[in-house]
A and B are shown apart, each in its own frame.
Chain A
Amino acid sequence: DIVMTQSPDSLAVSLGERATINCKSSQSVLSSYSNKNFLAWFQQKPGQPPNLLIYWASTRESGVPDRFSGSGSGTDFTLTISSLQAEDVAVYYCQQYYSMPYTFGQGTKLEIK
């Protein structure tokens, strides 16, 4: 199984500041056939299901604010929130869908400083 490891486990950022979450996979999730990274990012708020933010490592899901962006390739990925808003407080997960079972990171809890 591909192991997904996020850092940090928790993060406190001031409103309006940048938040950066990292995700590392134990194997590359870049397809040489499609040249796409099979990596997604989710946001989960308490009592709610996960909400897809980013897929193919950098494609924003419809309706997701443009302050959310994804980058990286191969085994190292980053989710960036350019200007933190109060409603962004949540746990963020990365997930690889390159190889079954499609595994998730352990989550990063984002709070307001």
Chain B
Amino acid sequence: QVQLVQSGAEVKKPGASVKVSCKASGYTFTNFLLYWVRQAPGQRLEWMGWINVANDNTVYSQKFQGRVTFTRDTSANTAYMELSSLRSEDTAVYYCARGPLEQLSYWGQGTLVTVSS
């Protein structure tokens, strides 16, 4: 069955970077886009963008442009989201998710990133 397993919780200081991983199993990794969505405490879900795992093309939400980087390692069936210049407002649960298409049918369990001095 399709599974997306994310890395564990992180605590970072303001100005630092964080890299979250998302390991996929149960399907052919390169056949689907991988999306990233975050949810700050008590806030709505926020779409960050996607990576085309097959060709490494990426699309980023304008809000995160310049601060976020999506990468993947096809040999490890793993995608990564790196967010830099962290500030307190970046404290959130970060999710990876997969379609079939833009419909997000499969989600990772989430990774809590806390930004605190």
Contact = CB atoms under 8 A, between A and B. Distances in A.
Interface of A: 38, 40, 42, 49-52, 55-56, 61, 93, 95, 97, 100-107
B103 interface: yes
Interface stretch (B13-21, B41-49, B67-75, B80-88): B41-49
Interface in B21-59: 44-47, 49, 59
A49 B102 contact: no
A102 to B, nearest CB: 4
Which size class do B's interface residues fall under?
Answer: 10 to 19
B107 A50 contact: yes
B117 interface: no
Contacts of B109: 49
A97 B107 contact: no
Contact of B104 (A40, A56, A100, A106): A40
Contacts of B110: 49
Residue in B45, B59, B63, B110 with the greatest tally of chain A CB atoms within 10 Å: B45
Contact of A104 (B47, B59, B103): B47
A51 B47 CA distance: 15
A49 B47 contact: no
A10 to B, nearest CB: 13
